[in-house]
Amino acid sequence: MFNKNDMKIAKLGEPVLRKKAKKIKDIQSIETQKLISAMLTCVKKSNGVGLAAPQIFISKQIMIISSKPNARYPHAPHMEDTVIINPKIIKTSKAMTKDWEGCLSIPGIRAKVPRFNKIKIQYETREGQIERRTFKGFIARVFQHEYDHLIGLVFIDRVETTKDIITEEVYFRTI
């Protein structure tokens, strides 16, 4: 069902990006495990720091955080690949920071997006275990960006003014 080499990224305008993703009921199924493996491959090949299943046309509550410095995010902190299934945000900081984001589903665009500085979440692991973690800074931003994909939003939905949207070409000249 999931050919790792043929993964296509859903682009802005595809209906799947505006749907609320369905909860995963059987994490240990072969289908779910193959989907996770395919997503891990896809996020690496595309130089992303995160990927949500709706971005590959699968409306299910799975996301990957794969933060490592790469061509698209040269200053990303290194974090072990983390598979997050059926996530819930438990608590957020009051403080928010506006910073640059990009998205594999909206190529060529960057925008300043306000996000919570710190979040506490609960989710299920690839093995079906319940985990609670606190993310802050860049990783918290990546989580919130991917979580938005699970609830039918994209990062430009959160932009406060169109003056905060630029092309990636301009963005890379300014960092």
Task: Determine if residue 42 is labeled as part of a ligand binding site.
Answer: no
Task: Choose the catalytic residue: 14, 31, 101, 146.
Answer: 146
Answer yes or no: 124 catalytic: no
Cα separation, 135 vs 128, in Å, equals 20
CA atoms within 13 A on the CB side of 23: 6
Give the closest residue to 138 by CA, choosing from 96, 77, 81: 77
Active site residues: 146
Query: Binding site for Fe cation: residue ranges?
Result: 103, 145, 149
